[in-house]
Structure 1
């Protein structure tokens, strides 16, 4: 693709915002921005498709159930995936900062994720029972740790290669492409025209191939060497990074907002449990296919819009998504109390609404963090925020106990309160897209 074509495509996606002005990247990066912009979309789209193809909440849970793995292993999938992707970051950020070009770390992490997905695919075809469970959960743990490397480096690379006001558009476009592909996958699962084990195994191998392809594309980014200060002893790095909470009031408020909005990630399994007739439990894989469709469909219709809005005001995106999540969860409770939640239309509808909010939370908080931090603090802010949220997600496992003793409706109520509390907290965030304009 020629340089003029790349610039034309970027201008079409960004509506030519601010002409060709680069706000917070050097001239050398500005000259390569159009190519880097499209490479970000390509590599991130492949990664997001892979995420949908191995979704632990849906695909891997069904896979372990089908293979006869012990129930406790199925319960480990989401905690291993979420905590493994977030908790290591505070300790690895310092080492990663020693790399002048962090695109290489992202590429290695993406490659390891691809190999891990292929291992899960092999296990699906060759193992059963406890052995399958151990291998799949173990491979998922390796995948999650590799993902943590990608997470802590991606925002830093994005901030160095794409200018403010266009970053949310790049990630939003990638989310839309990924959602469209996963939507087709969910439709294929729901139809049942092909043996579902074959579909799932093929999807796992395809996810592996896409992650490796994403790594290859990412290595071609034109990334200027960046600051390498701050690398060193992980324990000292932990102390230094944690001190940022004391020094930066906006960082504290951002992490609190993001922490309250983990309600959007935790709620779907409890919503499904609340709206599912227990007598139909053995027939629910088609329903889980609908969950995939609801999730990817929400991403398809909202991700690009959220990304464009986030480039204008990520603060307002977080306020809007907190409000949308509160409405979706309150509606879930209302439908449950009225006895309508088990209607065929009800659960997909409220789940679709929550997933729209979830997509906005992801894009809003990602763009906000990149734009509020400087090039020198971006990696540390990302690692600190992700590690704290990882810890909160582990504690979120306690909602399972609440569900057991007080019911799923009680959990939905608590998560609705968390979303509602995020609204006034987000109002206090700074309009970071207007800083240094």
Structure 2
């Protein structure tokens, strides 16, 4: 086969393709468009990830709500709402998606809605303040989260239909790595602007820019060549949702995956507590926001391609290794902060810890996303994604109470508590079967 198109040449180089292209687990027609779709998905995801970074509830939105004097109790809700709001309705959303032969348009609609909701948050930031601003941002964040749920289910299914198995992990790895470069630049810029006194106008314009990333992501995603896939009839949404929940009871491997994934939430849930710990001990200097964004981007650049390649061989091993790193880090930080006062006040300690946590969290995300996509195909994959995300959404709401407990429990104590659960999660992941098929070529 003559490779005259640069996308084919670059695709073959990145995935070590030599003669015949591997098209495991996808349609023969889709195989012909794999290189083009590979880079369209990558570029679209890069844009959306940059938008996510510049409107991250753990950093930027918390900062913005503080600037507009929103009530503190509302600020504590933004992370659980943003995460669980996109997961809880997915089991019902999946019922609608299953009726569509082409599912990329579901992602496009969801991405446009995310753009509009984040843009509205920018206007709220500019023109309102206090409780009015706080409640408005919460309501818009709910719209954003529901729209994000549309994209989550649809994107995994489109990925499974257009990109061969043992190429998906690398795609995610390259995407996160390139996104990390852009996040790095954003972190440098925010650090630079903080020195000259960044105000509400600056942060609202940052949010406007983030919103535009989702619009561009939708435009790029619309160009993906997706062929019709299997569908199911339009049953009652809730009835069908309850029927799909039965796979948790009947499918042992899937049930064990959900248990393991629940325990792996430690890598995500501990992140804001590292930031809080640094603020409590080092102070709330403006440069800290840019610094944490910067080291998190650097962690993605360095680790994502490695995690991606490892995930194509054994995604369960990636989850085990990354969970151990995140959990061990939390235990070490608890010991240092509690019993080593000299290091407790070291400025370099917290960015370094956040950098290592970023590496670990990148592995957890890549590992579990690749694992669930490779567990099944067709509508079964859609069921797995929607059911697992719905259950995780409930668990996130429950663990969201940890934020309220910070006032009575030490921040480092919460990190230790979550890290111990992470170690249990690593053990549970080690018991999962390997879903990757070893390439014999």
TM-score, normalisation: structure 2: 0.94
- Which of 197, 203, 218 aligns to 1:215? It is 218
Q: Deviations over 1:235-269 (max 9, x none)?
A: 21222111101121111111111100101111022
Structure 2: tracts of 5 or more residues without a match: none
Q: What is the DSSP-based 3-state SS (H/G/I as helix, E as strand, rest coil) of the residue aligned with 1:54?
A: coil
More displaced 10-residue stretch of structure 1: 345-354 or 402-411: 402-411
In structure 2, distance between residues paired with 1:123 and 1:17: 53
Give the deviation of 1:3 after TM superposition: 6.0
Could you report, residue by residue, the CA deviation over 1:63-84 in whole angstroms, capped at 9, with x for unpaired residues? Answer: 1111111112211211110111
Deviation at 1:231, TM superposition (A): 4.0
Q: Residues 213 and 371 from structure 1, CA distance in 2 versus in 1: closer, same or farther, beyond 3 angstroms?
A: same
Whole-angstrom distance in 2 between the partners of 1:77 and 1:275: 20
Distance 1:200 1:19 in 2: 50
Q: Aligned-residue CA RMSD in angstroms?
A: 1.8
Flag the 1:38–1:276 CA change in 2: closer, same or farther, 3 A: same
Show the counterpart of 1:269.
272
Paired residue for 1:310?
Answer: 311
Please give the TM-score of this superposition, normalised by the length of structure 1. 0.95
Please identify, of 143-152 and 321-330, the stretch whose mean Cα deviation from structure 2 is larger.
Answer: 321-330
Shift of 1:384: 0.5
2-structure distance, mates of 1:141, 1:333: 34
Aligned to 1:87: 88
Query: How far does residue 17 in structure 1 lie from its aligned partner after superposition?
Result: 7.3
List aligned pairs for 1:118-197, cutoff 5 A: 118-191=119-192, 192-197=194-199
Matches within 5 A, 1:222-301: 222-229=225-232, 231-277=234-280, 281=283, 283-301=284-302
Change (3 A) 1:18 1:382: farther
Query: Using a 3 Å threshold, how does the CA distance of structure 1 residues 122 and 195 change in structure 2: closer, same or farther?
Result: farther
Q: List structure 1 segments (4+ residues) > 4 angstroms apart after TM superposition.
A: none
State the match for 1:396 in structure 2: 399
The worse-fitting range, judged by mean Cα deviation, of 220-229 and 124-133 is: 124-133
Contact kept, 8 Å, 1:276 with 1:342, in 2: the verdict is no
Aligned length: 434
Shift of 1:148: 0.4
Match of 2:350 in 1: 347
Query: What is residue 417 of structure 1 aligned with on the other side?
Result: 420
Shift of 1:403: 2.9
The range that moved more, 29-38 or 336-345, is: 336-345
Give per-residue Cα distances to partners, 1:178-198, cap 9 Å, x unaligned: 121112111111222555234
* Distance of aligned partners of 1:72 and 1:221 in 2 relative to their CA distance in 1, 3 Å threshold: same
- CA distance change for structure 1 residues 134 and 409 in 2, over 3 Å: closer, same or farther? same
Change (3 A) 1:101 1:426: same
1:333 matched residue in structure 2:
334
Q: CA deviation at 1:402?
A: 3.9
